[in-house]
Structure 1
Amino acid sequence: MKQIIFIFAFVCLWSCQDDDNGYEIINVAIPEMMSKTEFRNSVEIQSAKPIVEAGKIYAYDDYIFISDKDVGVHVIDNSKPKAPKTISYLKIPGNEDMSIKNNYLYADSATDLLVFDISDILNITFIERLEDVFSAYDYQIPNEAEYADFNNFDFENQIVVGWKIVQERREIIRNSELVFNDAALSNSSSAESSSVGVGGSLARFQIVQDYLYTVGSHEMSIFNISQLSAPVLETVQPSGWNIETMFYADDYLYLGGTNGMYIFSMENPASPSYVSQFTHWEGCDPVVVDGNYAYLTLRGGNACGQLESVLEVIDISDKANPTLAARHTLDNPYGLGFKNNSLFVCDGTSGLKVFDKTNPLELQQIQAFPNVHAKDVIPLNNSLLMIGDGVMYQYQYDDNGLQLLSTYSLN
């Protein structure tokens, strides 16, 4: 018995010393996998169901489309804005974004692009899949993970559909935050004659005439959609670094990344060309543009890497040399949008804030809705859509500002 105790004590002493000399207990993310064949066979058009985690919001005609993060898209009949109603659900594993033109809905599904015919909204049909057109798939590694273990993942034949967090004793890796296998990941008509929907400021998809532009963390993929039912991947090109959002205005694309705003000219729509970059400190960065000014929010206190939360006004009159024109402190901003001289800013748990931007250099707050959670907005012609914390809000415009029209629980 004493011998066993001695051996145990020796092992413990060796282990403890070893820990002190470069080992620690960390959270490791282990991917939960599905074969690509099974993954691609799981797309379905289903009856309405509650949303688990609301993601992007998109408006088209009398309908609102809301993504359920990584699992699908919910279709809401908004022909009566005071009483919206969910009518169907598109099960699309790995979905994050969508865009619509002339009753064709384009949606990502991990590495693939899918096409749906929504001309009969009560009988939506899945008609096309372009496989492996997105090489830089966002694997949505959990924030609490310090290491992502892809050792048993077959990048050619499998898809990550979830994560399991386990604690493991591993050698300390200095000067690193989240670690993963970079090498493995790298292998991986005119407005007058068409109807195109509207996305929020957190969108990564934009349709401009005969092209669908999509952006991932560092690549832009351009699809020719002149034949709507059969898109063709035309170009894949670098987009910047850690890109999160895309906005189109006046023949330019504005990409919001964690370290800046990138401007691309669309003189050649099949291959947008880099013009310039406005650099800021690390921060989550949606951007909208009106005339000679871009408005972007930077959210602090999170994985985006900064402490401050601000609204920045950028002078883009010289596209080759964008400059900071003004800054305004916020609490924890997300998306934003504008209509005429009103700028709508979603300030997270601090609610929706409305600014008068008649003079972009001296924004004036004119209205606030502090008792709502605000994530993103779409300013439509007759109403403002807003989403946050499992609720969709609709406001109508009047001479006194915004007036609440309806609230709709998504859960």
Structure 2
Amino acid sequence: MKLRYLFLPLVFISVWSCDKKDLDFELVQVAIPELMTKTDFRNSIAVTVPKNMEEVGKIYAYKDYIFVSDINEGVHVIDNSNPVLPKAIKYINIPGNEDISVKNDFLYADSATDLVVFDISDINSISLVERLEDVFNVYDYNIPVEAEAVDYSKIDLENNIIVGWTVTTERRKKVDDQFIDIALQDGIVFSAAESVTGQGGSLARFQIVDNYLYTVGNYEMAIFNIQSLSSPVLENTQIAGWNIETMFQADSYLYLGSTNGMYIYNIENPSSPEYISEFTHWEGCDPVVVDGDYAYLTLRGGNECGQLESVLEVIDISNKSTPTLAGRYNLENPYGLGIKDNTLFVCDGTSGLKLFDKADPLQIELTKAYSNIQSKDVIPLENSLLMVGGDILYQYTYVADGVELISSYSLK
């Protein structure tokens, strides 16, 4: 009988010990990188016939063509010589691509760590003419949003590129401050004839100004001399800020939109942009456009950027050294924006496209709202407005009281 009662405390001790041990562990969603060798990655660039788009990204206009990025995959080429009936004609497979710019029939694109150059003078025979290797820190590894940690144990970025992720659930021992910024582990950072340059939207990270291509990543700016269009030269890289998402050029200045505000750089010395000032706001996703003495930027709330409210801000930049807030207007779900004359076009996400009269920048007025569409970014061209939203490419003509639809083209 005594042995039976002596056994009970041992059971309690064992159960208590297991419970205590379990409290030291938790289930964690871990992202495991899928790798490709840099050799295979670089050999995978190809120009093919049109294909289905996986995830619609940014838009870029050049001559009679519209380029639409397939996020992290490549670029779709659309013949827009007849805006009523645009037609996909080519697909450029560029793994790790996020941005492009075009000048005089040469297309510049990022491919993860590399800058690649294509000759598009004959759109039916696009060719890769140059590659500058390892000139970028990859600024978007597309880590799955559900991931709480990243398994870096097998990453060799000297010889490999991350091309995807697998998320698994693992039982891990709790560690204080274990989940530090998963974008910054192990040095990984998560940018004669008249010249013809294309035009991107407000979400762009590439800008061509005269003989220079400016690119911006999460924290670093890379400056390429493109005087010889087919043979760009990396002239300079410099720290440009933090959490940078977009870049806009106006006059002799670059305006960098970050999650923390807007950075202003003077490019009078084009190979070495000079920091002028920073306008700081609460944290939020932040594209910016500029017209004259005012910058217009949107901050989107209720998302990974940390912003609570969604607003349009008007910034007085008449004194570049001391930009000041001139106005703030509530929005629903803003993304990109653009300017044509006195009209400010704002993509308000699922709330549609909104038009503001900015004749008086200190008191802009909402004049029109197109609420039955999704909108993400716009490019106000001379004679038409391009807009992408959801899986649709929209084209509008300007009319007296707003815009009128020319065509809507399904990108999928």
TM bucket by the smaller chain? over 0.9
Look up the match of 1:271: 272
- Which digits, 9 at most, give the CA deviation of each residue in 1:325-375, with x for residues without a partner? 000000110000010000000000000000000011111111111011100
The question of whether the paired residues in 2 share the 8 Å contact of 1:149 and 1:180 is answered with no
Residue segments in structure 2 that go unaligned for 5+ positions in a row: 1-8
Residue 399 of structure 1 and its aligned partner are, at CA, apart by: 1.4
Between the aligned partners of 2:403 and 2:121, the Cα distance in structure 1 is 32
SS in 2 for 1:202: coil
Instruction: Mark the CA change 1:405 to 1:324 in structure 2 (over 3 Å): closer, same or farther.
Output: same
The amino acid across from 1:406 in the alignment is S
Between the aligned partners of 1:12 and 1:107, the Cα distance in structure 2 is 60
Residue 64 of structure 1 and its aligned partner are, at CA, apart by: 0.2
Between the aligned partners of 2:85 and 2:303, the Cα distance in structure 1 is 36
Between the aligned partners of 1:261 and 1:312, the Cα distance in structure 2 is 11
1:250 and 2:251 aligned: yes
Structure of greater Rg: 2
The question of whether the paired residues in 1 share the 8 Å contact of 2:277 and 2:322 is answered with yes
- Which digits, 9 at most, give the CA deviation of each residue in 1:186-241, with x for residues without a partner? 69x9xx82000000000000000000000000000000000000000000001100
The question of whether the paired residues in 1 share the 8 Å contact of 2:314 and 2:325 is answered with yes
Residue segments in structure 1 that go unaligned for 5+ positions in a row: 1-5
The question of whether the paired residues in 2 share the 8 Å contact of 1:67 and 1:96 is answered with yes
Look up the match of 1:280: 281
Instruction: Mark the CA change 1:169 to 1:83 in structure 2 (over 3 Å): closer, same or farther.
Output: same
Residue 138 of structure 1 and its aligned partner are, at CA, apart by: 2.1
Instruction: Mark the CA change 1:164 to 1:358 in structure 2 (over 3 Å): closer, same or farther.
Output: same
SS in 1 for 2:290: strand
The question of whether the paired residues in 2 share the 8 Å contact of 1:146 and 1:177 is answered with no
| TM-score normalised according to structure 1 size | 0.94
Residue 180 of structure 1 and its aligned partner are, at CA, apart by: 5.3
1:145 and 2:147 aligned: yes
Equivalent residues, number = 403
Bigger drift between 327-336 and 173-182 goes to 173-182
Look up the match of 2:94: 92
Residue 13 of structure 1 and its aligned partner are, at CA, apart by: 5.1
Between the aligned partners of 2:401 and 2:203, the Cα distance in structure 1 is 28
The question of whether the paired residues in 2 share the 8 Å contact of 1:155 and 1:184 is answered with no
Residue 9 of structure 1 and its aligned partner are, at CA, apart by: 9.5
Residue 174 of structure 1 and its aligned partner are, at CA, apart by: 3.2
Residue 8 of structure 1 and its aligned partner are, at CA, apart by: 11
Look up the match of 1:167: 169
Residue 181 of structure 1 and its aligned partner are, at CA, apart by: 5.3
Look up the match of 1:220: 221
Between the aligned partners of 1:151 and 1:9, the Cα distance in structure 2 is 39
Between the aligned partners of 2:359 and 2:249, the Cα distance in structure 1 is 21
- Which digits, 9 at most, give the CA deviation of each residue in 1:266-314, with x for residues without a partner? 1100110100000001100000000000000000101001110000000
- Which digits, 9 at most, give the CA deviation of each residue in 1:363-392, with x for residues without a partner? 111111101110000000010000011100
Between the aligned partners of 2:158 and 2:284, the Cα distance in structure 1 is 33
Look up the match of 1:205: 206
CA RMSD of aligned residues (A): 2.0
Between the aligned partners of 1:11 and 1:179, the Cα distance in structure 2 is 37
The amino acid across from 2:20 in the alignment is Q
The question of whether the paired residues in 1 share the 8 Å contact of 2:139 and 2:189 is answered with no
Instruction: Mark the CA change 1:175 to 1:152 in structure 2 (over 3 Å): closer, same or farther.
Output: closer
Between the aligned partners of 1:241 and 1:272, the Cα distance in structure 2 is 16
SS in 1 for 2:188: helix
The question of whether the paired residues in 1 share the 8 Å contact of 2:189 and 2:218 is answered with no
Residue 18 of structure 1 and its aligned partner are, at CA, apart by: 2.8
The question of whether the paired residues in 1 share the 8 Å contact of 2:284 and 2:306 is answered with yes
SS in 2 for 1:361: helix
Look up the match of 1:3: none
| TM-score normalised according to structure 2 size | 0.94
The amino acid across from 1:52 in the alignment is E
